[in-house]
């Protein structure tokens, strides 16, 4: 793992918040939206940025993309994430993120294996019968 990739990943505040959240387990894009209050596009761009630098991994579950930290953390990344976690411990934004993440994970565990509520299926449009 290149240190440049780690520092590039940590350079942005939203990416730092994402990485801190992932220290506690995997999350879906919609979970990041809910916790961070950012748009799907913004979250997805930051996750793609982190993924391109091998700072996160992704898997698909039905329609959702689930992100996590790599299974085998490079020692450099592990050290930087531990430092980040220590540095932001008292920051109210990061503390709120982590609290919301815990609540969301608890809700997820009770609701079953899928990460998100399935999309509401719309009834097929019915055509009016002509007399």
pLDDT, tens digit, 9 for 90 and up, residues 9-52: 888 899 999 999 999 899 999 999 999 999 999 999 999 999 99
Domains, the chain, in order of start with CATH, read 3-110 (1.10.10.10)
pTM above the 0.75 mark? yes
pLDDT, tens digit, 9 for 90 and up, residues 52-85: 999 999 999 888 889 999 999 899 989 999 999 8
CB 21 within 8 A of CB 97: yes
């Amino acid at each position: 793992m290149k240190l440049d990739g780690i520092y590039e990943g940590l350079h942005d505040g939203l990416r730092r918040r994402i990485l801190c959240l992932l220290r506690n387990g995997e999350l879906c894009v919609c979970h990041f939206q809910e916790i961070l209050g950012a748009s799907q596009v913004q979250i997805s761009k930051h996750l793609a940025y982190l993924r391109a630098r091998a700072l996160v991994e992704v898997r698909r579950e039905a329609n959702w993309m689930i992100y996590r930290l790599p299974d085998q953390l490079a020692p450099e990344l592990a050290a930087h994430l531990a430092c980040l976690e220590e540095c932001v411990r008292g920051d109210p934004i990061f503390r709120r993120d982590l609290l919301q993440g815990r609540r969301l994970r608890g809700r997820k565990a009770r609701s079953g294996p899928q990460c998100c509520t399935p999309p509401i299926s719309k009834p097929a449009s019915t055509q009016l019968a002509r007399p």
